[in-house]
Structure formats: structure tokens, C-alpha cells
Amino acid sequence: MNEINKVKLSRIRRTAGMREMFGMQIPAPSKFIWPVFVVEGQGIKEPIGSMPNQFRYSPDMLIEDLEKVVEMGIGGIMIFGVMNDHARKSSFPDYPYREDGAVQKAIHLVKMNFPDLLVCTDVCLCAYTNHGHCCLFDDCGKMDIDKTNALLAKIALSHAQTGADCVAPSAMMDGQVCAIRNILDENHFQDTLIMSYSTKFASSMYGPFRSASECTPQFGDRRSYQLPANDIHQAIRESLQDEKEGADILMVKPALFYLDIISAIRKDTKCPLAAYNVSGEYSMLHASAKEGYGDLYPMASESLLSIFRAGADVVLSYWANQYDRLFKK
């Protein structure tokens, strides 16, 4: 028998115990962050039609569903504010930094009930502006980056003052991380983390999210400030720039369609790296399973493993509240 015939690769995966011992460690629930949507009011738990098993919550109802998520060991949540009343949106919104805002109320309640849970907050404008963009515009219709960053910083500070552990700017404005780090430090919130959406693509996979958060742009698109899918060099530069500005955690969004970007950035930074398994990636598996093309939770767990294999340390995913069904032995 020649040497090559002595090699039987299947030996090492012959039993379940061997497969578990020699394979990749299953990601712990503490490696997941669950994105949640909050609205004003009480007693509200509104299903999101395009995202099965996800809801718009009033802060009090979020606490009820968080209990079982915390019991599973999920590491944190990312809170998104939603304004269903479009008449209250404006071109220069003040609601997102108000003390009585839905996000601020949710932060307070979550920290009061689950003090050890990592509470992250999305810092952006698109859900609050009447035009649905992530920025402010000047009188000539041009993006006003300086004013946008000042407003983003004000929102981030309001979240930190209410008790958020981590603020996450997603507007993709040049200099947003620096503006937020400065205002946090000036106000004695040096320990508040910044998780930057540092490499966020102008993706076609955000449809269900925009429906859930009522933030579809009313004109144009976001390609002038979000990244093109065909330029890996810009993608890497964006994350490395945010690291220089003081981001504690970098993020790639979306995740499944950009595994190569996750791997490339992982090689160039020692920062913790998050990946956002976005709404379209979540909903397309539900749609596929509904058509009988595969079993839902095995497909979901396989997709999540690919994100960790690519190099992510943490995954933001709508699957997080279903972790107990993802990785059963």
C-alpha cells in the first residue's frame, strides 16, 4: 500500500464526539447581539411581517421578551428607535436625543432589569428624518457632514447618559467616530464603547429592515455615503480609518455576502470585529424554507458558522433570540 492510501480523512469525523472535538467550536450565545426595534407607548408587540419572529416593541414589552433571551446567555442587544408617526419626522430632528425618547426609555428599563446585559444603541438619523436619509442637507441639497456629525454626537451622548454601554454610529459620515469620541470624553463617558459600522455597504439586503424601521429614503439612495460592493480597498480603508478615530469595535455590514471583506479586515486589525447578519439575509432563509428548499434552523446555523469562520468575533443577528433552536446537539 502506498503512502497516500494510508490517509483516510474520514477517520477523524467518524463519530459525533470526534466531529465535536476536532471541529470549530460552536459559537457561544455570548457572541451574539440581538437587534431590536422600539416604539413609543405601552403594551405594544407588533409583528414585523417581512421578518418572522421579530417585533416592534414598546419598552415595557421588550423587557418581557428579553427575559428568555438573557436566560439563553445572549451577550447583548442593539436598540433601534422607530417613529411610526411620520408627521413628527423633520429635516433636523430633535426627537432622537430627547430624554423621553423610546430608545432612552428602553435603555433605562433594560439596564434596570438586566444590568449585566451589554446594551448597544444604533446612532443614526434615517428613522427620524422626513427624507429617510442618514444625514442632514444644506440649503443647496448637499450633505452637511459637519452638522450631521454634531447631531450624531448629541444623540450618542444622550444614549450614554441614559446608561448605554455602547453606541454604534451607522450613518457612514466621514469623521463621525471622532465627533462621538470627543463628546463622550468631554462629558466623562470615557468608558462608553463605540462600535462603528465602519464598513457598511450600499446593499440590496436591507429591505426588510427599512420596512421595520420606516426609514426608506424618499429620494435618491445612499450610495454617496455607503460603500460600493465592488471595491475591497475602500472597504478596508473605512474600517482602519474608524479605528484611528477611536472606534473600539469595527463592523462589516452585511455579513454573508461580504465574508471576504470580514477576512481581509480581520488580517489588518487587532480590534474586535463584528459582523451584521442583516434583515435580507435573515428573511431570505425564511422564504427559502417556506418554499421547501431547506430546513430553516440548519440553514441558519450553517450561515452563522460561516460568518465566524471568516473572522468575526461577534455577530449581530435576528437569529439571536432563537439561539436555543440553532445549535442543538
Q: Where in the sequence numbering do the catalytic residues fall?
A: 200, 253
- What secondary structure does DSSP assign to 264-283, as a single string? HHHHH--S-EEEEE-HHHHH
Distance, in Å, from the CA atom of 148 to the CA atom of 156, rounded to the nearest integer, reads: 12
User: Which set of grid coordinates corresponds to residue 181?
Assistant: 469620541
Q: Which of 214, 280, 168 is nearest to 56 (CA)?
A: 214
Distance, in Å, from the CA atom of 123 to the CA atom of 37, rounded to the nearest integer, reads: 13
Exposed/middle/buried for residue 60 (C-beta within 10 Å: 0-12, 13-18, 19+): middle
Distance, in Å, from the CA atom of 112 to the CA atom of 278, rounded to the nearest integer, reads: 28
Exposed/middle/buried for residue 306 (C-beta within 10 Å: 0-12, 13-18, 19+): middle
Distance, in Å, from the CA atom of 103 to the CA atom of 237, rounded to the nearest integer, reads: 31
What DSSP state is assigned to residue 174? T
* Pair 226, 234: CB distance under 8 Å: no
Q: Tell me the chain's radius of gyration from C-alpha atoms.
A: 21
User: How many helices (H) and strands (E) would you count in the chain?
Assistant: 11, 11
Angle at the Cα of 21 from the Cα atoms of 15 and 25, rounded to 5 degrees: 125
Q: Which of 217, 197, 206, 202 is nearest to 283 (CA)?
A: 206
